[in-house]
Every structure is written in C-alpha cells, then in structure tokens.
C-alpha cells in the first residue's frame, strides 16, 4: 500500500504542475481567439480545453464550453471558419469566413498576442512580489588572475561600474555585452568583504565570443578572475584524518565550525586557525543522509587547526560516478577513488583532469594514478571520442573516460529584488518578456546557423519536467517558467507554418496583396504540408526527450 501511495505521489508531483501550467497557457491562448472573435461578431460554437472526447461541457448561448480528454492543446470552433461551407445569407453576418480580412487577422493574431501579454503580466506580478537575483559579489579571485593584479579580492561587492549603480550581478553582465570585438575599460568601485571599506580599480575587459548563443550580443567583455562562483565546503577525507573515525565522509559538506557558519572553501583555514587546538572542535555537517554534529576532542599534539592538520581537502578530485561500460569502468576505476596524477602530472583541480584527457593523442593509453582505501593504484585508460553537449547548447566532440567528480561549488549568494512601484514592475515585466522573445527568436536563428544543436529541441516531456522541478522550488520560479513557455508559444504560433496561426496569417496577407483569397485546393495542400511538418517536429522533440532521459 505504501509503495502504491509513493507512486501516486510521484505521479501527481509530475503531472499536476504540468496540467496546471499547460492548462493555463492554453486557456489564455484560446481566450484571445474567443474574445476577439466575439468582438468581431463571429459566432463561436465551441471553446474547448483539450482535444478528443469531451468529458465536461456546458452550453451558454451559441457556445459550448468543454473540457476534453487530451490535455495537449485546445481550440475555438467558429461558425463558417471552413472555406467552401454553404452558409445562408442571413448567417453570413456571424460567419468567420465572411468577415473582412482585417477582422480575420485580428482573430487569429489575438491568441499569440494573449500569450505575449500574459507573460508581461506574470513578470509584472513576480517583480511586485519579489524575485531571486544574484548579488553583485565576486567569487574566488585567483591570485594569478588579471582581476587580482588590478586589486580585486574574493568577496568584493560591486557598487558601481563606469558611473552606473550595480544592484545585481545581472546589472554588471549587461554592461559587458558588446556588439563589436573592442576592449572595454571599466572603472569599478567595490566594497570590501568584512571591513566595508570602499576602493576603486581600473581594469580592461577583453572581448571574447559570447558563450551564450541566444544573446543578441556577439561578444562579451571578460576580466580574468571576475566571476560570481566560489569553491564550496564539500570535503575529501584522507585516511589520516582524525575526523574519519567520528564518521566524517568524503562528499560531506561543512556547514559550521564551532557555531560559525561557513559557506566557502576560502573561509575554512581562516576559521580553523582562530580556534586553539586546546579547544574541542565542533563541526556541523550535511551528509548524504541528514545534517549531523561531530565533536573532536582537543588536539594538543598539533600547533593549530587547519585543513592540512585535520586531513581534509577539496572533494573535486574524488569520483562520484563511474559510467557503466565507460573506459574508466573497464580500466577498473570506482566511485570514491581519488585522482592523483595523469601521465605523471600531479592534479590540482578538476580542470586539470579535463584538459589532460582532452589532449589524448589517440595512440598511447593514459597513465592514471589513483588513491583507493589508502593504497596507490596505477591504471592505464584509453579515452573514447564522445559527443558532449556544452553549457551553451552546442555539441563538442572530445575524448572522455566516463567519470564525474564530487562537485565542490557554492551557489552564488541570492537577494530578493522587488519593484518599488507598479510602473517600475510593468517596465520590468515588459523588458523581461521582450528579452525572452529575442532569445526564443535567436534560438531558431542559431539552429539554422548550426550554432546550437537540434538536440536542444524538447517536447511535452521537457515541459513536464521543467514544470515539476520549478513547482518544487517555489511559486515564483514556477510562474517564471510559465511566462517563458508562454513567450515560446507566442513565437511558435507565429511561425509561417499552415495549421499554426502564423500560417493562417500568411494566407490572409496573400489575400490582402492579391485582393482575393487563395484557392481552396492550394490551402488544403498547404495545410497537409504544415501538418506533416508539425508532426515531424513533435516526433523529433519526443525522440530528444526520450534519448535524454535514457542517457543515449
């Protein structure tokens, strides 16, 4: 019984958000067609959410309102919308086909536009309620980076750049967008972490190809060392660690030390160094099971507490996963192995692993040294050429061995951003909707330019997963996802494909130019071609969904 309950709960957690999201968006879209059709004097016969057999229906006036069994769309059936129907002279005044071309354009365009304005409404409401945004705080600034040389330090808060106030990390990113490959001089005022002192530094952002293919900016200014990301407090535990006997494990995350909260790796040695070895050490730890508290007795034998003296290190060179059938598994690698060196080059960070494997010459096996249960093992691995999806949505062919590290990365600090008044919220909502619209259009452009992979095209399963995940996080994220998909529906429905609203608009534009509608035969052929294209796209999207889920 418990198993059945769990499955029901899992099903509802996935299906319910999907039905809510899709149901609202379909209702909004069809409501646009319905309202403008009624406004133009067209008789609406059916307003249906869903397709197929009607499971609920209610008739008022000339219109039957229905809920149908297949919840993957909806429709508004208008009187006389099929060309060639025999319509009496008296009924022509309420016939869609007998309305003038501008009225028909208005009815067809109303659905997509409702999705666009609905997205503005959602972003407006979110802006009024408050939304998460990254704080404009620098993450780890490497000592050998251009940013460090210019004077920036980890934890600096950006106050203003080139005279423009910086409230969120997004504000800073917007300044870095470039149309052309030119150097960008930045005068940056920062506030120091801890002391609160202010300082101003001048630095030059070098142009590089924008890693975001959906941006309208071809280039982005980059300053080496300036990023919002920091190493977290997820640890690797050496066999020599006195904390191992207390139950501390590789992959655990330190939350506090003697009551002091810790969030970043750079804090750990500083906090530990402020505690005398004559005092007990109390660690709050988040493990695989649940948070716990470990207490280490005073260690008079050491001079001071430190990561080194406690036998702790970053987790990023420990393996969290070895993929089934991969070169790594065939060579004998296991989960929790600690990578030591590749081809006798000592590894310092996970990036070293990627770079060494990528540079495989295709001939001699890679000599990999690992630490397992206190023993050093030497293994020979022959990397395999694979196609990897990059963060920017492109496909990259490179050598891999099929391993994943225990990630040690702290999430950027977030802040709540609220509009101070409805006008500001409306402007923000409109800007966000426009930005999403541009990105959606750019996704089609980049697909045709082969700059992003068609494997990024997702179907109803992708929408369902996105709805489920954002629903778990919170209402704000769920509604923002709804707004993004609403904009996608706005753009998709305007594509000049017969059977979509955009296809009908093409017919009406041709009618305006010619002064007469297309022949019934030509429209039927176009509709058949459009249906074939749409079905092919849906099948391809579902194929991508299944291959992604199955890891193919």
Residues 42 and 121 occupy one common structural domain: yes
Looking at residue 93, the DSSP 8-state letter turns out to be: G
The C-alpha atoms of residue 519 and residue 84 are separated, in whole angstroms, by: 10
Antiparallel, parallel or unpaired: β 291-296 and 281-286: antiparallel
Residue that the structure tokens 């309102």 belong to: 65
- A 10 A CB-CB count for 338 gives 19
Residue 196 maps to which CATH number?
A: 2.30.42.10
The C-alpha atoms of residue 357 and residue 383 are separated, in whole angstroms, by: 7
Active site residues: 30
- Residues in the chain predicted with pLDDT less than 50, given as ranges, are 1-4, 6-8
Closest CA to 192 of 135, 143, 144, 154: 154
Q: pLDDT at position 3, please?
A: 46
Task: Give pTM, 2 decimals.
Answer: 0.80
Per the CB < 8 A criterion, the answer to whether 51 and 72 are in contact is yes
Closest CA to 339 of 311, 360, 315, 318: 318
Which positions ≥6 away from 146 have C-beta within 8 Å? 203, 223, 224, 225
The C-alpha atoms of residue 410 and residue 316 are separated, in whole angstroms, by: 12
User: Tokens in use for 69?
Assistant: 């069994």
- Domain-embedded: residue 399: yes
State which of 295, 312, 329 marks the end of a domain.
312
Q: Is 184 helix (H, G, I), strand (E, B) or coil?
A: strand
- Domain-embedded: residue 423: no
The C-alpha atoms of residue 206 and residue 469 are separated, in whole angstroms, by: 37
Cα→Cα distances 348→353, 410, 525, Å: 9, 18, 63
- Domain-embedded: residue 344: yes
Residues in the chain: 552
Residues 282 and 359 occupy one common structural domain: no
The C-alpha atoms of residue 247 and residue 287 are separated, in whole angstroms, by: 10
Which residue range forms the structural domain that includes residue 351? 319-406
Residues 84 and 153 occupy one common structural domain: no
- Domain-embedded: residue 308: yes
| Percent of the chain that is helix, strand, coil (3-state, to 5) | 40, 25, 35
Residue that the structure tokens 């005279």 belong to: 163
Residues 159 and 207 occupy one common structural domain: yes
Q: Is 281 helix (H, G, I), strand (E, B) or coil?
A: strand
Beta bridge partners of 198: 191
Residue that the structure tokens 């919308």 belong to: 81
CA atoms within 13 A on the CB side of 152: 33
- Domain-embedded: residue 418: no
Count of structural domains within the chain? 4
The C-alpha atoms of residue 173 and residue 195 are separated, in whole angstroms, by: 26
Segment holding 67, helix H or strand E: strand 63-78
Residues 243 and 278 occupy one common structural domain: yes
- Which is it for the CA torsion 386, 390, 395, 397, positive or negative? negative
State which of 312, 344, 366 marks the end of a domain.
312
Q: pLDDT at position 421, please?
A: 93
State which of 361, 390, 406 marks the end of a domain.
406
Residues 111 and 153 occupy one common structural domain: no
- Domain-embedded: residue 64: yes
Residues 326 and 387 occupy one common structural domain: yes
- Domain-embedded: residue 206: yes
Residues 69 and 172 occupy one common structural domain: no
Helices (H), 183-326: 265-273
- Determine whether 138 is exposed, middle or buried from the number of CB atoms within 10 Å of its CB (0-12, 13-18, 19+): buried
Residues 23 and 121 occupy one common structural domain: yes
- Determine whether 212 is exposed, middle or buried from the number of CB atoms within 10 Å of its CB (0-12, 13-18, 19+): middle
End-to-end Cα spacing for the chain: 34
- Domain-embedded: residue 469: no
Per the CB < 8 A criterion, the answer to whether 403 and 326 are in contact is yes
Residues 301 and 348 occupy one common structural domain: no
Beta bridge partners of 256: 261, 284
Looking at residue 359, the DSSP 8-state letter turns out to be: T
Closest CA to 176 of 213, 151, 204: 204
Residues 365 and 380 occupy one common structural domain: yes
Helices (H), 163-250: 169-176
The C-alpha atoms of residue 507 and residue 511 are separated, in whole angstroms, by: 6
- Determine whether 311 is exposed, middle or buried from the number of CB atoms within 10 Å of its CB (0-12, 13-18, 19+): middle
Antiparallel, parallel or unpaired: β 219-222 and 177-178: antiparallel
The C-alpha atoms of residue 398 and residue 384 are separated, in whole angstroms, by: 8
Residues 261 and 223 occupy one common structural domain: no
φ and ψ at residue 311, rounded to 5 degrees? 70, 40
The C-alpha atoms of residue 439 and residue 68 are separated, in whole angstroms, by: 33
- Which is it for the CA torsion 164, 223, 411, 154, positive or negative? negative
């Amino acid at each position: 019984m418990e198993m059945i309950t769990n499955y029901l709960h899992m099903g509802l957690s996935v299906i319910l958000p999907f039905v809510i999201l899709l149901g609202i968006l379909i209702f909004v879209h069809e409501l646009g067609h319905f309202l403008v059709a009624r406004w133009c004097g067209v008789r609406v016969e059916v307003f249906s959410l869903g397709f197929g057999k009607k499971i609920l229906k209610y008739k008022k006036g000339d219109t039957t309102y229905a809920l149908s069994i297949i919840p993957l769309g909806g429709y508004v059936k208008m009187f006389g919308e099929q060309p060639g129907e025999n319509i009496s002279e008296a009924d022509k005044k309420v016939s869609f086909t007998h309305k003038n071309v501008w009225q028909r354009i208005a009815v067809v365009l109303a659905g997509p536009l409702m999705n666009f304005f609905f997205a503005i409404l959602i972003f407006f409401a979110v802006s009024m309620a408050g939304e998460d945004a990254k704080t404009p705080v620098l993450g780890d600034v490497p000592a050998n980076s251009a940013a460090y040389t210019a004077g920036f330090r980890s934890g600096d808060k950006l106050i203003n750049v080139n005279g423009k106030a910086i409230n969120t990390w997004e504000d800073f990113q917007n300044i870095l967008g470039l149309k052309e490959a030119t150097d960008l001089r930045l005068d940056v005022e920062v506030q120091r972490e801890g002391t609160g002192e202010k300082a101003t530094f001048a630095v030059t952002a070098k142009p590089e190809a924008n890693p975001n293919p959906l941006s309208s900016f071809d280039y982005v200014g980059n300053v080496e060392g300036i990023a919002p990301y920091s190493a977290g407090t997820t640890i690797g535990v050496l066999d020599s660690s006195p904390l191992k006997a207390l139950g501390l494990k590789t992959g655990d995350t330190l939350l506090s030390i003697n009551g002091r909260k810790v969030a970043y790796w750079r804090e750990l040695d500083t906090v530990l160094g402020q505690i005398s070895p004559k005092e007990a050490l109390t660690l709050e730890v988040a493990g695989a099971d649940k948070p716990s508290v470990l207490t280490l007795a005073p260690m008079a034998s050491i001079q001071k507490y430190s990561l080194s003296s406690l036998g702790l290190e970053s987790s990023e060179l420990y393996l969290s996963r070895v993929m089934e059938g991969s070169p790594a598994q065939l060579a004998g690698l296991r989960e929790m192995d600690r990578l030591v060196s590749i081809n006798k080059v000592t590894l310092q960070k996970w990036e070293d692993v990627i770079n060494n494997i990528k540079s495989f010459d295709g001939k001699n096996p890679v000599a990999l040294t690992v630490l397992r249960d206190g023993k050093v093992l030497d293994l020979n691995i022959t990397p395999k050429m694979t196609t990897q999806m990059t963060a920017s949505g492109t496909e990259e062919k490179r050598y891999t061995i099929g391993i994943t590290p225990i990630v040690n990365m702290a999430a950027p600090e977030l802040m709540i951003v609220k509009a101070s008044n409805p006008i500001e919220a409306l402007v923000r909502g409109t800007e966000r909707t426009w930005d999403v619209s541009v990105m959606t259009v750019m996704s089609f452009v980049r697909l045709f330019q082969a700059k992003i992979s068609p494997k990024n095209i997702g179907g109803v399963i992708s929408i369902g997963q996105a709805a489920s995940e954002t629903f778990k996080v919170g209402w704000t994220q769920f509604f923002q996802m709804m707004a993004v998909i609403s904009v996608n529906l706005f753009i998709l429905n305007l594509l000049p494909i017969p059977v979509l609203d955009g296809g009908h608009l093409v017919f009406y534009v041709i009618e305006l130019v010619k002064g007469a509608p297309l022949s019934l035969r030509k429209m039927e052929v176009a509709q058949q071609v459009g249906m074939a294209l749409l079905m092919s796209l849906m099948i391809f999207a579902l194929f991508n969904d299944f291959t992604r889920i199955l890891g193919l």
